[in-house]
Every structure is written in C-alpha cells, then in structure tokens.
C-alpha cells in the first residue's frame, strides 16, 4: 500500500472520538503501510498535555481496541504524535500550530500535505475554518479537511459554515463524515441492489409496497443532555444517517462507481425529493419523548435538559421521491432513544401477488446493519405435514472469522480521506437538500410550539416507541415489520 506523506492536525485531540475511534483507526492504517515513515499527527486541545502524555494516550487507545499489538510498532507509531495546547478562539495559537506543522513537515518529508480533522464540539467548526484561512495554515501540497457531524443546525447555519470552510478548501477536499457510510451493510446496499437481477428487477413501485428504515438505540441521552436538548432525534439521526441510507436505497444506478458518478446519482434523486407541507408534517410525522421508569429518568429529568423541553427523543416519518426507481413508494423511517434494543435495520416490503394458495406472505428483504450484519429474504414454500404455505428466510451472512476482519467505519473512511476518495462522504448539494427537508419539519413543529400545541407524545422506555408511530402508514395493510 502507498505510504502517504502528510501532517494531520486533529482539533479535539483529547476528546472521546479521537481516543476511541481515530487513534485506533490510524494505527491500523499505519500497520497496513498507508501512512508510515512520512507522517506526523498534531493533537490539539485546551489541556496542557505534553507530547509524551499524548503518546501514552494514543498507546492506551490502541491497547483498548486491540487484543494483540506489536509493541515495537506501537512505540514507533506513537512517536509520530505531537501535542499542541490550543484554544481554538485564540488567533496566536494558530501561529504556533502553523510553525509546528511546518517543522514536522520538514522533519518527516510530508511534502506540504495537510489533513485537518474537526473532532470537536460543532459550535467551533466555523471558528477553526475561519482561522485556518486567516492564518494561512494550509500547506503547499494537498489540503483536506474532515468535518464531523452535525454540519450546521439548519440550512442557514450549514450554509454559513460551508462558506467559512470553502474559503480555504475546495468542495473536493471537504470530507463531511457520516460514519454510517463506513458501515459494512450500508456499503453493501449498492452491490446488493445492482448485482442481483433478482433484486434489481423488482426495485420499483410495481413490486415494492414500502421501505422501512429503523435506527433504534437502547441508551438514553446519558451525559449529552445539554447538547441533545438543542438538537433532537430529527437533527441528530435523520438529517445525516437516515437520509444517507434512504438515498442509497432510492437513487438510480450510477453510470460508474467513481465518486463523481455516485454523487451525481444521489443528486439526481434528491432533486425530486418531496418536501413536506405543514399538513403533511401533522399527518406523516410523529415526535416523542421517553418517560421514566423505576430505575431511569424521564427525558425531562435528565441532567442539563430543560424540564419543559419539546425536544424529541423519538421521531417517525415518511419520505417520497417524484423520480427514480422507487418514485412514489413511501419510505418510512423511525429512530429513537431508550427503545427495546440497539437495532439498525432496513425492511423492503414487497407487494403481495394473487395466488391460488391464498395465504402467502410478502417477500420482504431485510438488511440488518447493527448489531449483526446480514441480509435475508423471506420466501414462501409448501408445508411438509399439512396443506398450506410456510415462510422461511434465505440469509446472506458472514462467518465469525469474516466478521473479525470487518474494519471499523472510521478506519474505512479515514483510509478514503488519505487516498482522496470521497464516494462515502456527504456532498454539499446532498446536505443542502437534507436540511431543506428537516427545516420544513422543524418549522412546522416550531409553529405548533408557538401556539402552545406541541404534539410531543410520551413513550414508555425500552419498547418500540409511541403507538402513534403506527398511524403514519398510507394504508391499513401496512405496519412496521420490525415490531
């Protein structure tokens, strides 16, 4: 594998994401030789850490995620890390950072290549981008930036942030990361749709009755109450992960597999996305909040949450496209906290056909994303012991040995950033459409709040959300497949 020369700067080097995801992923890429002799990583944060202390943290992060580690490799890898105490709002600190990056570039022969990673609270993204530009932190080689979610709070703030970032970076060099796009089964949607005649030929409103996307979390808001209360499930999960999954399910087949063709196919689809009216929002969307139990807080009692908050911890809704292979097919989604179990899955519900046996089931296709990775198709056959039809699953799954080899989403996506492949990142034009849709719902909800009639329904923890989510279907014969 190519040894890519680069100086990487991580804003938020003492944070949870850097520790749990970025350092282990970088170590794996180092072991594969993608980054090796000619790289340096600068971790920045406010704390007064030393280079040595950061290196210890990096080693700990690798040990925590790996059963076995070659200690010599790890020591050598960690020696490429440098710490810079840095307050993102202090202009002088960018001068120091620029100087350190230049020194490390000379030392490691990094050819002026820079990779900036925004692994901090989103409210700082704009400030960092502005100072990268003002203080000329970019190098003479490639300059790429990875931006964590959420990218903006609504369309207006996303546009402002985008402007701040594009002052220093071209669209092709901006990697808006959505770690769901690094998941094995999300990356499997396109191959599954486009390599199987059995599936490709039925991918239309003639055969598909509806599509259902469920991203269920078992955990509550935990320590993130303060942030979550300003966001809610719609912004936190639908604006990014759910929309990316829906786009992969509904887009036309791209002309090619390169990044430009895949993004073009996504844009062609999204141009025809139907933005809901306030009446649609009332009818097709449900927002909910979890109640407490003997052992758990209700959402409104969580630390740093406004007790009168209307923020939703659950949302269910519907998306439709006017064009594309599944034009007119309802795509239902739901996501929430404190649901029965952690489960990310997609159900493609096929229409029934008239048949002489009368009682056949629909051929549903299910893609399980987490915690297991598998695809199964329900098919009908004859019963052995008595007349009638029975249902079985045909399953596509991985062995345990294969599963061990599946790289973490962050490792995959960081690899793609190094090799400059933005296929599995969010293009600005996609993000813009997602925000247009989300803003339409948020505006309608805001109006309900303002007239004192917020319809935020309560739900019991550790079930599948509020019963009202069963009422968004277009016909009485539709229901959630995963109950």
Footprint of ligand NAD on this chain (CB under 6 A)? Answer: 12-17, 20, 45-47, 86-89, 119-122, 148-149, 179
Least separation, in Å, of the C-beta of 476 and ligand NAD? 39
Q: Is 236 annotated as a binding residue?
A: yes
Q: How far is the CB of 121 from ligand NAD (least distance, A)?
A: 6
**CB of residue 429 to ligand NAD, shortest distance in Å:** 22
Tell me whether residue 176 or residue 334 sits nearer to ligand NAD (CB atom): 176
Report the 3 state secondary structure along 272-291: CECCCCHHHHHHHCEEEEEC
445: its two tokens? 């909800």
In the complex with ligand NAD, the residue whose CB is nearer, 141 or 150, is 150
- Of 241, 263, 415, 427, which is the active-site residue? 241
Query: In the complex with ligand NAD, which residue's Cβ is closer, 122 or 317?
Result: 122
134 is annotated as contributing to ligand binding:
no
Q: Is 320 annotated as a binding residue?
A: no
DSSP 3-state assignment of 331?
strand
Establish whether 217 is an annotated binding residue.
Answer: yes
Q: Is 119 or 469 the residue whose CB approaches ligand NAD more closely?
A: 119
Rounded Cα distance between 432 and 13, Å, is 29
Residue with Cβ nearer ligand NAD (52 or 402): 52
Q: Any binding-site annotation on 88?
A: yes
According to the annotation, is 402 in a ligand binding site?
no
Asked if 153 is an active-site residue, the reply is no
Nearest distance, CB of residue 481 and ligand NAD, angstroms = 28
Closest CB to ligand NAD: residue number: 15
Write the CA distances from 119 to 17, 235, 377, integer angstroms.
Answer: 7, 18, 39
Q: Which residues of 140-161 are buried (b: 16+ CB within 10 A; e: fewer)?
A: eebbbbbbbbbbbbebebbeeb
- Please name which of 210, 206, 176, 203 lies closest in space to residue 189, comparing C-alpha atoms: 203
What is the nearest approach in angstroms of ligand NAD to the Cβ of residue 44?
Answer: 6
Task: State the Cα–Cα distance between residues 265 and 261, nearest whole angstrom.
Answer: 6
Tokens matching residue 62: 């690798």
Q: What is the number of helices (H) and of strands (E) in the chain?
A: 18, 15
CA–CA separation, 296 vs 299, rounded Å? 9
Instruction: Please enumerate, by residue number, every residue annotated as part of a binding site for substrate.
Output: 179, 183, 217, 236, 337, 342
Instruction: Please enumerate, by residue number, every residue annotated as part of a binding site.
Output: 46, 87-88, 149, 179, 183, 217, 236, 337, 342
Active site (catalytic) residues: 241
């Amino acid at each position: 594998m190519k040894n890519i020369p680069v100086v990487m700067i991580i804003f938020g080097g003492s944070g949870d994401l850097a520790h749990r995801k970025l350092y282990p992923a970088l170590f794996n890429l180092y072991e594969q030789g993608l980054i090796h002799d000619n790289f340096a990583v600068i971790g920045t944060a406010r704390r007064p850490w030393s280079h040595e202390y950061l290196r210890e943290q990096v080693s700990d992060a690798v040990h925590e995620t790996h059963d076995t580690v070659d200690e010599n490799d790890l020591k050598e890898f960690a020696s490429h890390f440098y710490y810079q105490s840095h307050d993102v709002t202090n202009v002088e600190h960018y001068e120091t950072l620029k100087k350190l990056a230049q020194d490390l570039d000379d030392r490691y022969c990094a050819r002026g290549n820079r990779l900036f990673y925004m692994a901090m609270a989103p409210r700082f993204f704009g400030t960092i981008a502005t100072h990268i530009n003002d203080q000329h932190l970019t190098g003479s080689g490639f300059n790429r930036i990875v931006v964590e979610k959420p990218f903006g709070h609504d369309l207006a703030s996303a546009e402002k942030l985008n402007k701040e970032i594009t002052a220093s970076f071209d669209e092709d060099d901006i990697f808006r990361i959505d770690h769901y796009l690094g998941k094995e089964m999300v990356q499997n949607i396109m191959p599954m749709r486009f390599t199987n005649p059995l599936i490709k030929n039925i991918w239309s409103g003639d055969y598909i009755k509806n599509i259902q996307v469920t991203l269920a979390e078992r955990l509550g808001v935990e320590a993130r109450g303060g942030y979550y209360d300003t966001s809610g499930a719609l912004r936190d999960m639908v604006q990014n992960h759910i929309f990316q999954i829906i786009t992969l399910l509904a887009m036309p087949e791209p002309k090619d597999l390169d990044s430009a063709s895949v993004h073009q196919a996504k844009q062609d689809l999204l141009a025809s996305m139907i933005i809901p009216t306030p009446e649609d929002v009332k009818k097709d969307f449900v927002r909910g909040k979890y109640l407490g139990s003997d052992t758990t807080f209700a959402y409104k009692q969580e630390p740093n949450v406004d007790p009168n908050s209307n923020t939703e911890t659950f949302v269910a809704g519907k998306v439709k496209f006017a064009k594309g292979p599944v034009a007119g097919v309802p795509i239902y989604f739901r996501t929430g906290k404190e649901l029965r179990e952690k489960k990310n899955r997609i159900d493609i519900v096929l229409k029934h056909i008239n048949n002489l046996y009368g009682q056949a089931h629909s051929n549903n296709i299910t893609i399980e994303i987490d915690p297991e990775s598998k695809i199964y198709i329900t098919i009908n056959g004859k019963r052995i012991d008595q007349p009638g039809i029975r249902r079985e699953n045909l399953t596509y799954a991985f062995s345990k040995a294969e599963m061990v080899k599946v790289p973490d989403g962050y490792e995959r996506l960081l690899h793609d950033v190094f090799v400059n492949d933005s296929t599995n990142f969010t293009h600005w034009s996609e993000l813009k459409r997602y925000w247009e849709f989300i803003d339409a719902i948020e505006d309608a909800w805001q109006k309900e709040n303002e007239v004192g009639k917020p319809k935020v329904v309560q739900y019991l923890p550790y079930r599948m959300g509020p019963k009202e989510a069963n009422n968004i279907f277009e016909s009485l014969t539709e229901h959630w497949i995963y109950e």
